Amino acid sequence: MKKVFLFIVLLNITFIAVSQPVIESGELKNWPATDTFKRVIIPNTVIKIANYAFQGCKNITEIIIPSSVEEMQGNPFFNCIHLKKITVDSTSSFFSSENGILFDKSKTFLLAFPSRFDTTSYAVSTTIEGIGNFAFQGCSHLNKILIPSSVKEIGVGVFLYCYNLTDIAVDESSPEFISEDGILFDKNKTILIKYPDNKEGNQYFIPNTVKSIAEFAFACTKNLTDISIPNSVKFIKHNAFLNSSLHAIKIPSSVCDIESYAFQNSQNLTSVKLSNEAWPFSMNVFRLCNQLITIDLSDINYSDDFNMNFYVDMSRKVDPKFFHPALTFYVANEKIKNTFKKSNLNAIVGKPLEFIDFYFKKNQSNIEFSITTAPASFQSPMKERGVVVSEKPFPSTNDTKIIAEKDGEIYNITMDTSNMEPKIYYARSYVIYENLTTYSKQVSFTLEQPNNK
């Protein structure tokens, strides 16, 4: 009998705590997360194990699956953070295990790799043709994985929460996949599948062959703060940038679809620029981006009633619980601004400072900052502008501040560095309005020890 593996992606679920396993009509639906047992033997009355059945069971280190189990949905062991071993009864007709790793019976499909499997590097067997959804989820020990040419299918979120992963390698003869600098793509490099969570470097330029950014592609990338999306990209999938460390993002006009929760919980994200409507679009794309204060829509100049529906829909979908109270929309004209005002949202006609050029030049005893701003079309009066500098990333007006003396679209600021300690510093330009302070992109510079000291 051939069984079909059902892979379901439902991350936004509320799991109910129970004290006893929930088994209904042979289906194990939920194992109590409060269970203190480390070794769990699934009853032999169970025929089917539901998706997320063991979600959050943080005490379990080993799970034993009886031969009665014929079907598993998705990854039942999601977020079992101490799981070291999955054992399957050797008489099972549907599943098998080897060294604690779960496979289908023929060992051509890798279903689940225990989160606390004690290895830093793993080479997938050359017998494997497919890797299941979330198969390596939470494997924080892994820093390198090798995918053989036999693999023809890779599921969703396979490397989610692999916090120390730096390299995903692919056999060069693979007909389906390719790796470039440790980043996983489909063979034609039209889909960016996964950027490793712990890959070094804070900036990345997505290749201009990429048309789609896959689900969870940049999820949990803790070092990456700056990404350039090329005009080739058309689709940004669900949770593509979940828990990312991005500070600002420009979404080009080529993108026609941004799926739900694409940037969810990106706590450092402060600025977003959209160059077109990106239909269909919903504000849950930025759910729980609690530091997001700027959404730049100023290049979208539609004012007719049909296209105004885009702004009406967006303004109605901003739930204050999930956004910073200072969230401000920068728009092209008064009609669009009034649409947001009707929903009690901050809106300004003009361009935000976050996407205005900010450069610096390091000299022997000073730093010259050059800031280019847009024409003064803001509705709120400008009170002050300048540059802030700190030893920590993302400086604010509470740090060292150099106030600009001149108005105009282009201005320069010089900071004396002769008495500053040799180390890395971070800088941003800023503007203070009546009810809002806004910042530019961040730059960093290193001061070195003078030769005469």
Q: How many CB atoms lie within 10 A of CB 377?
A: 12
Beta strands in 378-440 (DSSP E): 382-390, 400-403, 410-416, 424-433, 437-439
Q: What is the tally of structural domains in the chain?
A: 3
Q: How many angstroms separate the CA atoms of 437 and 267, rounded?
A: 18
Mark whether 23 and 64 lie in a shared domain.
Answer: yes
Nearest Cα neighbor of 313 from 351, 353, 277, 365 is: 277
3-state secondary structure of 163: coil
Mark whether 404 and 323 lie in a shared domain.
Answer: no
Domain final position from 118, 144, 162: 118
Mark whether 343 and 205 lie in a shared domain.
Answer: yes
Residue range of the domain that includes 291: 201-352
Q: Which percentage of the chain shows pLDDT scores above 70?
A: 84
Mark whether 246 and 347 lie in a shared domain.
Answer: yes
Residue 450 has what DSSP assignment?
P
Query: In this structure, what CATH number is given to the domain that contains residue 363?
Result: 2.60.40.2060
pLDDT above 70: residue 244? yes
Q: Is residue 162 part of a domain?
A: no
Mark whether 320 and 399 lie in a shared domain.
Answer: no
3-state secondary structure of 310: helix
Residue in this structure with the two tokens 């003064």, named with its chain if needed: 376
Q: How confident is the model at residue 357 (pLDDT cuts 50, 70, 90)?
A: low
- Mean pLDDT computed over every residue of the chain: 85
Q: How confident is the model at residue 403 (pLDDT cuts 50, 70, 90)?
A: confident
Q: Which of 71-75, 347-351, 431-435 has the highest mean pLDDT?
A: 71-75
For the segment 258-311, what is each residue's pLDDT rounded down to a tens digit? 998 999 999 889 889 888 766 556 778 898 898 888 888 888 876 666 566 667
Domain final position from 118, 146, 165: 118
Query: In this structure, what CATH number is given to the domain that contains residue 236?
Result: 3.80.10.10
Q: How confident is the model at residue 409 (pLDDT cuts 50, 70, 90)?
A: low
For the segment 77-99, what is each residue's pLDDT rounded down to a tens digit? 998 999 999 999 999 999 999 99
What average pLDDT does this structure show over 375-382?
Answer: 50
> What are the DSSP calls for 384-400, one per residue?
EEEEEEESSSS--TTSE
Mark whether 348 and 225 lie in a shared domain.
Answer: yes
Q: Is residue 415 part of a domain?
A: yes
Mark whether 418 and 287 lie in a shared domain.
Answer: no
Q: Is residue 136 part of a domain?
A: no
Q: Which percentage of the chain shows pLDDT scores above 90?
A: 47
Domain final position from 118, 144, 168: 118
The torsion angles phi and psi of 158, rounded to 5 degrees, stand at: -60, -35
Q: Is residue 143 part of a domain?
A: no
Mark whether 299 and 319 lie in a shared domain.
Answer: yes
3-state SS string over 35-96?
Answer: CCCCEEECCCCCCEECCCCCCCCCCCCEEEECCCCCEEECCCCCCCCCCCEEEECCCCCCEE
